[in-house]
Amino acid sequence: MSTLRIEGMGMWGSGARYRVAAAGRCGHRAWDEGDVLLVEGEVLEGQWAVLEPTGFLGRPVVGQRQGAGWIGPHGERCHAARWRCMGRIRAVVGGDASGGMGDFGQLALFGLAA
């Protein structure tokens, strides 16, 4: 499986949406192309989040909170001067490769109705 690649899809309530543009494995799971990540809120120790690069270069990545810092998708440290947290991954909705959003009815289970 290749390296996970995600791309922004804009705002979702007070959070943001990201689409998996290239399937890959990160940490605890495999991510499928077309999956949509709903991101919002504070991130606690051990939780997964989306990190956006500051400046002009780079793509968003999935990272994990570790102490006061962040660990990237390959276990590398992500310095706060380079990366900013967009929020905790609250839900992953299965989509399709064209960016379809799947069934948002299941979000009520997370208390995340859009």
CATH number at residue 48: 2.10.109
Which secondary-structure segment (H or E) carries 72?
none
Q: How far is CA 85 from CA 1, 18, 36, 106, 107, in A?
A: 26, 13, 17, 25, 22
Enter the pTM of the model.
0.81
For residue 13, pLDDT beyond 60? yes
What's the total number of domains in the chain?
A: 1
- Host domain of residue 48: 5-110
Q: What is the pLDDT of residues 78-87, one digit of tens each?
A: 998 999 999 9
Q: What is the pLDDT of residues 45-73, one digit of tens each?
A: 999 999 999 987 899 999 999 998 999 98
5's tokens: 């690649």
